[in-house]
Chain A
């Protein structure tokens, strides 16, 4: 299906990512499936394509995929734009937002530890799941520090983001939460950039607050996770 010439060039990974994503965008638009973000459709399609064509090595996809992945850096920096546009709201509510982030980070660490023990994950998998609500680069860093498996953490981060991108806003409206500040902060703190990207189509204020939440949750988790871990271990075993 794919000639070697194509597979051996970054063109393959870059092309596959962008083409599949665009096709999924069109499908979502045409079928009016606005409940499903294109990513959620595109990710299993690419994984499926690679699994169904065993002659393609993962490294061949990654050679181009790394270029796309690299752009996450500039995209994270770009979140400064909604931040600046809404700085008045952010300044006015700085205290509450810090409180919210502290609650989010504590809930995340404790609930993952308790659930992991309850549902019986192995020790290393549990440690890999711990930073899952944080944006990928920070999550990998934290996973490394506390003794998890960084690529497994990346997978957990993406799964969390997919889950959040699909269900966050439905759950929030189910509980009658309409306030942009509450929704944006909760979405950013629980499902990082992937979940927050959905806020772009809801409201610019929500997107800005989401961006702040991503940054603050990243910082809070990298401080709190290594501190809380020994405590949780001694209490819960």
Chain B
């Protein structure tokens, strides 16, 4: 990991976010700029306009430490402790049940479909 490529990579990421923010505000659609930025970067990498080596270091670093970046949002929970306390068990149960329902329904659907595909592929 070189410090130069870290900085160049960061410059590209920030520039893409800049452009995405402008595009979204111009089009006036409710879409998060960072997601548009992700699609733009994927496009630029796929077409070879940006080399993977240029953004590799900063991307790996940001992804690996993404958990830390969520901390301030987590701490902002502090502001709504009253509401959360008042309905804590209902909120917690709803989140727990629905999170695992989503996880399992999605994973099992894919497992079943992929296994079927593998069987079909085996016969051909």
Contacts and interface: CB of A to CB of B under 8 A. Distances in A.
B32 A38 contact: no
Contacts of A61: 72, 75
B1 interface: no
A229 interface: no
B101 to A, nearest CB: 5
User: For chain A, what secondary structure do more than half of its interface residues adopt (helix, strand, loop), or is it mixed?
Assistant: helix
Contacts of B122: none
A103 B66 CA distance: 27
Interface string A76-107: 11111111110100000100100111011001
B95 A132 contact: yes
Given A99-B109, A133-B102, A66 B83 contact: no
From B10, B59, B77, B106, name the one whose CB has the most chain A CB atoms within 10 angstroms. B106
Contact of A154 (B33, B55, B73, B83): B73
B69 interface: yes
A2 interface: no
B34 A73 contact: yes
A157 B77 CA distance: 10
Interface string A12-28: 01000110110000000
Interface residues of A, number: 106
Interface in A155-180: 155-165, 167-168, 171-172, 175, 177, 179
Contact of B38 (A107, A160, A186, A215): A215
B93 interface: yes
Contact of B74 (A58, A158, A181): A158
A112 B97 CA distance: 8
Interface in B56-88: 56, 58-60, 62-80, 83-84, 87
15 contacts: A43-B74, A51-B78, A65-B72, A68-B72, A72-B70, A73-B17, A75-B63, A99-B109, A104-B105, A122-B87, A136-B73, A137-B34, A155-B76, A181-B114, A190-B106
